[in-house]
Chains A and B, each alone.
Chain A
Amino acid sequence: AQSVTQLDSQVPVFEEAPVELRCNYSSSVSVYLFWYVQYPNQGLQLLLKYLSGSTLVKGINGFEAEFNKSQTSFHLRKPSVHISDTAEYFCAVSDRGDKIIFGKGTRLHILP
C-alpha cells in the first residue's frame, strides 16, 4: 500500500525568499505523484503532477517539484514566494490506478 509523509506541518518563510516543502512516499510499485494547493475555505487544486519522463516538473504559480526515485521523494520548490502563496499544500501518490492517497499537508506561512 502507498503512503505519503509530509515532514513539516507548518513552514514559515519571508516574502520573496525561496521555499521547499518536503514530501516522501512509499510504494511497492511505480507511482504517479502530485502536489495540490488548498486556499482557505476552498477545495484542492492541482499544482503539478509527475507521471513519467523528466524528473523535474513545472507547475502553476511558479512552483516546481523534482521526482527522486532513489530517495522516494517529491519535494516542492519555489524560488521566491509571494503573500498570495499562503495556503496548505498537499503531496499525493497514486499507484497508477485511480486511488489517490494524500499526505497530511503543510501550511505555508508567508511573513512580511
Chain B
Amino acid sequence: DAGVIQSPRHEVTEMGQEVTLRCKPISGHNSLFWYRQTMMRGLELLIYFNNNVPIDDSGMPEDRFSAKMPNASFSTLKIQPSEPRDSAVYFCASSQANEAFFGQGTRLTVV
C-alpha cells in the first residue's frame, strides 16, 4: 500500500479564496483524522471520522472549516474563505488496530 496520500503537498493562496485539501486513506482503515500543525499550537485534532461518519468535530476552529468523507477512500478539508491565520501544515491520518498512519501533509500558506 502507498500509505496515506495527501494533495496538494504545498498550497499558496490569497486571503478570501477557497482552499480544498484532499486525502486518500490506507485501504481497509476505518478511521480518518485531520490534524493541523503550527509552531504556536502544536498538533491539533480538527475532526475524525469512523466508517465515513464524522464522530468528533469539536476541534474545527470555526464555520469556515468543513470536512467530508463521501466514501471510504476519500476525504476533503475545505476552508472558505481562507485567512492568513489558517497558514499551517495540515495532516491526514488513517488508523487501524490502534495505530495511526500519517500522510506527508499539505503546507498551506495564505497571503
Chain A interface (Cβ within 8 Å of chain B)? 32, 34, 36, 42-46, 49, 51, 90, 94, 96, 98-105
A51: nearest chain-B partner, CB-CB: B98
Is B55's CB under 8 angstroms from A98's CB? yes
Is A49's CB under 8 angstroms from B43's CB? no
Give complex CA distance A99, B98 in Å. Answer: 10
Task: Tell whether A100 pairs with B91 under 8 Å between CB atoms, given A43-B105, A51-B98.
Answer: no
Q: Is B66 an interface residue (CB 8 A)?
A: no
Is B98's CB under 8 angstroms from A32's CB? yes
Secondary structure dominating the interface of B: strand
Q: Is B104 an interface residue (CB 8 A)?
A: yes
Most chain B CB neighbours (cut-off 10 Å) among A36, A49, A96, A102: A102
Is B102's CB under 8 angstroms from A103's CB? no
Q: Which of A43, A100, A102 lies in contact with B42, CB distance below 8 A?
A: A102
Give complex CA distance A90, B42 in Å. Answer: 10
Chain B interface (Cβ within 8 Å of chain A)? 4, 31, 33, 35, 41-43, 45, 48, 50, 55-56, 91, 93, 95, 98-105
Task: Tell whether A45 pairs with B95 under 8 Å between CB atoms, given A98-B48, A99-B45, A102-B42.
Answer: no
Is B98's CB under 8 angstroms from A43's CB? no
Task: Tell whether A99 pairs with B48 under 8 Å between CB atoms, given A46-B99, A46-B100.
Answer: yes
Is A45's CB under 8 angstroms from B102's CB? yes
- Given contact pairs A43-B103, A44-B91, A100-B45, a sample of 14 additional A-B residue pairs in the complex whose CB atoms are under 8 Å apart: A32-B98, A34-B100, A36-B102, A42-B105, A43-B104, A44-B93, A96-B98, A98-B50, A99-B55, A99-B56, A100-B33, A100-B100, A102-B43, A105-B42
Most chain A CB neighbours (cut-off 10 Å) among B42, B91, B93, B99: B42
Question: B41 contacts which chain A residues (CB < 8 A)?
Answer: 104
Is A104's CB under 8 angstroms from B42's CB? yes
Give complex CA distance A44, B99 in Å. Answer: 11
- Nearest first, the 5 closest Cβ-Cβ pairs linking A and B are A43-B102, A104-B42, A102-B43, A98-B31, A44-B102
Give complex CA distance A49, B43 in Å. Answer: 18
Give complex CA distance A101, B55 in Å. Answer: 14
